[in-house]
Amino acid sequence: MKKVIVLALIVVFAFATVAMAGYDDKCAKCHNGKTSPDKAKMLEKFKTADDFVKAAQASKSPMMKSFLDKGDELKAAAGEIGLK
Ligand code: HEC
């Protein structure tokens, strides 16, 4: 019984950590094709992770303001949606 609980906790924790770090959690709520371009649109527009990060940091949108100094996060998100 104890083993099951420990295992369940590990699984929950692992999922929570992944979700916290990711594009789906941090970016997709806005980048949904309504508020701002969705994943498919951005993949069409940007060919490299560098382009993507630069565009994100060049954004004039106040909604992107909290990400402007977070190059690492932007880069991670770029990697996650398939840019290199
Ligand atoms: C609070 C809402 C919000 C969140 C959260 C958000 N964005 Fe944005 N983002 C925007 C808006 C609004 C724009 C401007 C869209 C436009 O110009 O059409 C934008 C623009 C961008 C652009 C430039 C798009 C272009 O076509 O020039 C990139 C790249 C981008 N965001 C990446 C990200 C990444 C990566 C994350 C997660 C780390 C993220 N955004 C989180 C709202 C958000």
Q: Where are the domains of the chain?
A: 2-80
Q: Look at ligand 1, atom 1, and give the residue with the nearest C-alpha.
A: 63
Dist CA 23 CA 59 (whole Å) = 17
Give pLDDT tens digits for 22-43: 999 999 999 999 999 999 999 9
Q: Is the CB of 26 under 6 A from ligand 1?
A: yes
Instruction: Say whether pLDDT at 44 is over 80.
Output: yes
| Placement of tokens 């498919």 in the chain | 40
What's the gap in Å between 76 CA and the centre of ligand 1? Answer: 14
- Give exposure, 34-43, as e/b (b: 16+ Cβ within 10 Å): eeebbbeebe
What is the tens place of the pLDDT at every residue in 58-82?
Answer: 999 999 999 999 999 999 999 999 9
Interatomic CA distance for residues 6 and 60, integer angstroms: 46
pTM: predicted TM-score of the whole model, two decimal places: 0.83
pLDDT confidence of residue 2 = 80
Which band of pLDDT confidence, cut at 50, 70 and 90, is reported for residue 1? confident
- Of the pLDDT bands very low, low, confident and very high (cuts 50, 70, 90), residue 6 is low
Task: Provide the 3-class DSSP secondary structure of residue 27.
Answer: coil
Decide: 78 and 49 in contact? Cβ < 8 Å: yes
